[in-house]
Amino acid sequence: MQKILENALEIGRKYIPEGECASYIPELAKADKNHLGVCIRTRGMETFSAGDTKERFTIQSISKVITLMVALQHCGFNKVFEKMNMEPSGDAFNSLVKLDLTSDKPFNPMINAGAITTAGYLVPDVSFEDMLNYARRLCLDKDIVMDEKVFRSEMDHCARNRAIAYLLQSKGILESDVEKSLELYTRMCSLSVTAESLAGLGLVLSNGGRHPETGERLIDKYAVQVAKTIMLTCGMYDGSGEFAVRVGIPSKSGVGGGILAVVEKRMGIGIYGPALNEKGNSIGGSHVLEYLSKELNLHMFAAEQ
């Protein structure tokens, strides 16, 4: 297994020169684009790591998975999807177009409009401290904190998300305080994780929401089922469809360079690689996952060998 991970990294690294770190906020642009790491945590409680798996980076959009699950547990499926759909949008991740054309609901909870809506469901009942605790437990990583610098940088450059949030308010979708919802959303994006944390989160999700050792229920099992499905159809921005075909593992990427991947009933995989492709997904990480999927037969519809 270790050898396979090393090979995967080697292949992934070849694509790094074609990618770029996110640059829309100055803090993200400071990442070292050559970093690449992959961590696998299995239901047999083995951990395999290669590359930069201890490096901390901000979770960014991967936090949408956590926020969605907590909202599902807190408010229930019907409430969460009363004013939001669960359809892939076919558009870039920060587009306003679809929201406006259809003039009713955000397409899904993985796009910014949907994630801000989801954050609004939690305001004011669930505090950021509550959410931080959820993140620590679900990622099996008690060291997660919020990266204050990234958070400040994001808040200083959030005009587009603020526009989305006020548009949601104008449509009666976001009923909580706009600025508080936006802040909670942005704080969650600024959580500082490692590839290992994401592998931990993936392992918990592959295990239906239970702690892999203790069996303790960490999050509602139906919330996990819904989250995994939406990761599959909407998790990799507007490259989700092709990723499902090529890799076939429910995954969620963030512009910080992370990818969370959940191999049903088998393992969690966490990736860090801040050089992004044109869809906003870690370019090295995507190739690592494609390689692992083939080598380890992880595609959900892989033919029997």
The residues that touch a second copy, with contacts defined as CB under 8 A, are 85-91, 95-98, 100-101, 107-108, 159-160, 162-167, 169-170, 178, 208-209, 221-222, 224-226, 228-230, 232-234, 238-242, 244-245, 248, 250, 264-265, 299-304
Q: Name beta bridge partners: 193.
A: 57
The annotated binding site is made up of: 61, 112, 154, 161, 185, 237, 255
Task: Given the residues 15, 121, 237, 291, select the one marked as catalytic.
Answer: 237
* Among 15, 33, 49, 64, the one annotated catalytic: 64
Is 64 annotated in the active site? Answer: yes
Q: In sequence order, what E strands does 194-282 have?
A: 251-253, 258-263, 267-272
| Cα–Cα dist 32/186, whole Å | 22
CB of 259 to a second copy, least distance (A): 18
Q: Would you say 244 or 276 has its CB closer to a second copy?
A: 244
> How near is the Cβ of 125 to a second copy at its closest, in Å?
22
Q: Which of 15, 49, 61, 123 is catalytic?
A: 61
Whether 15 is catalytic is no
- Say if residues 270 and 195 touch (Cβ distance below 8 Å): yes
134 in active site: no
- For residue 265, the minimal CB distance to a second copy (Å) is 7
Closer to a second copy by CB, 140 or 234: give it: 234
Phi, psi of 300 (to 5 degrees): -60, -25
Is 166 an annotated catalytic residue? no
Q: Which is nearer to a second copy, 45 or 303 (CB)?
A: 303
Of 134, 15, 130, nearest in space to 69 by CA? 134
φ/ψ of residue 277, rounded to 5: -85, 180
**Nearer Cβ to a second copy, position 62 or 230?**
230
- Give min distance, CB of 293 to a second copy, in A: 11
> Is-catalytic flag, 228?
no
Extract the annotated binding site for substrate. 61, 112, 154, 161, 185, 237, 255
Annotated active-site residue in 80, 255, 262, 263? 255
> Cβ 26 to a second copy, closest distance in Å?
15
- Angstrom distances, CA of residue 125 to CA of 154, 162, 189, 222, 231: 24, 21, 19, 21, 26
What burial letters (b/e) apply to 170-205, b meaning 16+ CB within 10 Å? Answer: ebebbebebeebbbbbbbbbbbbbbbbbbbbbbbbb
Structure tokens at 237: 């921005």
* Beta bridge mates, 146: 191
Give dist(CA 8, CA 11) in Å, integer.
5
> Look-up: residue for tokens 């819904």?
226
Q: Which is nearer to a second copy, 9 or 205 (CB)?
A: 205
**Catalytic site residues?**
61, 64, 185, 237, 255
